[in-house]
Each structure stands twice: as structure tokens, then as C-alpha cells.
């Protein structure tokens, strides 16, 4: 790996916002480490120069092994994109109706996952004296999504984790920011957005009149990863078509 290459590690990179982010970062000149439960999808997203492997972000051993292997192959990590996330299944609705097992699963992926990934990557960035942690949170971390208690709680925690990293690691040359999408059309949301009447209801509440595409969110991640906004840290960048302005 030559010195001019910058390395980005993307979790959940096999589909949706993660895949769009991988494609954009490769176009921007990054070499990628891509982790996902979908091994083939991760390999395709990483490309021939990158590193890909099965990754369970909620499992400490899986995370530590993945990060160690990525650093061994690629030499450094300049950007970590904490993208892997889940909304919970159809039982994860209002609080008293959400099974404890489903609550724990959402929190494990959406909160424990970014914690474990950041915990594993930050020592690498501290040793480099530079790095950027970009966490894909959600506007659900700022305003409560009705009927999605576990998801809303998890994204609020992920947002605060991003801010905590910004405060604690600024003197080490490391920045941390959160990207907060509104509703985006991905495999995770297609069960709703592929139903015309449900999509119409959702888009009626968005001033721009449409949900985001994964590429819309990837564009914002790309700007952050470029270091053009080098003075920005601890920020929550909202990209929701105006949803939270209402």
C-alpha cells in the first residue's frame, strides 16, 4: 500500500447506504476495508485493492480480529464509517410491546457496534496522530420516530457516542461527526417504501416531497471524509429533505 492512499473502514458496506458510501469513497480515491455479515457483498464493495471479511459489529472478538487484519493488510485507518445498523423487526414498536430480545438486538448493533468499532480503531488513529470517525446516526436520534422506541433510543445513543469521541480525542488529532439521515430507500426500509400508499404517506411529511437515496447520504459522508471540513467535529449533520423542520 503506497503512502498516498487513504484508507476508510466501512461497516455494513454490502448494501444500502453502506454500499453507496463504499462506491463513493472508492471513486474519491480511498482504499477500503469493508465488513458485513454478507461476505460476498463486502468483497464486491471493497474492490480488488481493498480488504473484506465477515464482521459482526456486536461481537468483540469479531471486531478486534477484523480491525487487526485490516490494519495488517492496509497499514492504517484514516476514516471509520460506523454504518452498520438495524431498525428492529416488526415487533420492535412502542416500548411496552417490544420484546426484550429485540430491544437488546437493536441496541447491540446500533450502539454496542459503533462503540466496539471505535474502541478498536481509535488506538490506530491515536498512533497516527490523525483520523475521522463518521457515525451514521439518524434524525430519529434527535426527534422520536413514532412506534420505533428501540431504534430511536439507539440512534440517540449513537449520536452522543459520536460527540463523546469528538470531545475526548480532539487533542489526538482525531475528529468525530455524525450523519443523520431521514427516511432513505434501502433494503432495510423497502418493506414500507415499496408499498405505494405507505411511501406516499411518508413523503407527504417531507418538505422536499421524496425520501433520500443511499447516494444522497453517501455524498455527505464523502464531503466529511475528504477533510475539506477540517474544523468540524462533534457535529450532527442532518440530511432529511426538511423533515425535522416541520
Q: Domain of 52: which CATH number?
A: 3.40.50.720
The three three-digit cell numbers of residue 92, written as one number: 420492535
For the cut 60, the answer to whether the pLDDT of residue 2 exceeds it is: no
Domain presence at residue 1: no
Catalogue the active-site residues: 151
Boundaries of domain holding 209: 6-240
- Sign of the four-CA dihedral 235, 237, 214, 130: negative
Domain presence at residue 193: yes
What is the tally of structural domains in the chain? Answer: 1
What pLDDT score was predicted for residue 4?
A: 64
Per cent of the chain over pLDDT 90 is: 95
Per-residue model confidence as pLDDT tens digits over 139-189: 999 999 999 999 999 999 999 999 999 999 999 999 999 999 999 999 989
Helix (H, G, I), strand (E, B) or coil at 63: helix
Domain presence at residue 245: no
User: pTM for the whole thing?
Assistant: 0.96
All residues at 6 or more sequence positions from 96 whose CB lies less than 8 Å from its CB, including other chains: none
Q: How far apart are CA 81 and CA 199, in angstroms?
A: 28
- Kindly write down the DSSP assignment for every residue of 162-206, as one continuous string: HHHHHHHHGGGTEEEEEEEE-SB-STTTHHHHTSHHHHHHHHTTS
Lowest mean pLDDT among 4-13, 38-47, 56-65: 4-13
Domain presence at residue 246: no
Per-residue model confidence as pLDDT tens digits over 108-147: 999 999 999 999 999 999 999 999 999 999 999 999 999 9
Per-residue model confidence as pLDDT tens digits over 69-112: 999 999 999 999 999 999 999 999 999 999 999 999 999 999 99
Domain presence at residue 66: yes
Domain presence at residue 203: yes
Domain presence at residue 189: yes
What pLDDT score was predicted for residue 3?
A: 46
Helix (H, G, I), strand (E, B) or coil at 31: strand
Amino acid at each position: 500500500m503506497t503512502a498516498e492512499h487513504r484508507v476508510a473502514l466501512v461497516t455494513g458496506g454490502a448494501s444500502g447506504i453502506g454500499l453507496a458510501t463504499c462506491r463513493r469513497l472508492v471513486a474519491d480515491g480511498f482504499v477500503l476495508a469493508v465488513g458485513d455479515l454478507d461476505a460476498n457483498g463486502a468483497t464486491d464493495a471493497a474492490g480488488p485493492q481493498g480488504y473484506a471479511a465477515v464482521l459482526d459489529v456486536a461481537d468483540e472478538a469479531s471486531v478486534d480480529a477484523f480491525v487487526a487484519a485490516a490494519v495488517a493488510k492496509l497499514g492504517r485507518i484514516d476514516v471509520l464509517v460506523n454504518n452498520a445498523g438495524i431498525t428492529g423487526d416488526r415487533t420492535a414498536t412502542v416500548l411496552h410491546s417490544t420484546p426484550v430480545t429485540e430491544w437488546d438486538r437493536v441496541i447491540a448493533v446500533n450502539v454496542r457496534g459503533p462503540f466496539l468499532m471505535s474502541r478498536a480503531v481509535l488506538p490506530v488513529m491515536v498512533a497516527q496522530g490523525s483520523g475521522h470517525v463518521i457515525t451514521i446516526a439518524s434524525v430519529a436520534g434527535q426527534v422520536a420516530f413514532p412506534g420505533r422506541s428501540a431504534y430511536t433510543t439507539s440512534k440517540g445513543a449513537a449520536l452522543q457516542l459520536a460527540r463523546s469521541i469528538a470531545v475526548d480525542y480532539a487533542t489526538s488529532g482525531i475528529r468525530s461527526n455524525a450523519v443523520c439521515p431521514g427516511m432513505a430507500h434501502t433494503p432495510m426500509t423497502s418493506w414500507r417504501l415499496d408499498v405505494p400508499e405507505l411511501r406516499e404517506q411518508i413523503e407527504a411529511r417531507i418538505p422536499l416531497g421524496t425520501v433520500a437515496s443511499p447516494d444522497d447520504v453517501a455524498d455527505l459522508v464523502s464531503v466529511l471524509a475528504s477533510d475539506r471540513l477540517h474544523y468540524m467535529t462533534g457535529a450532527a449533520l442532518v440530511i432529511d429533505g426538511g423533515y425535522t423542520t416541520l
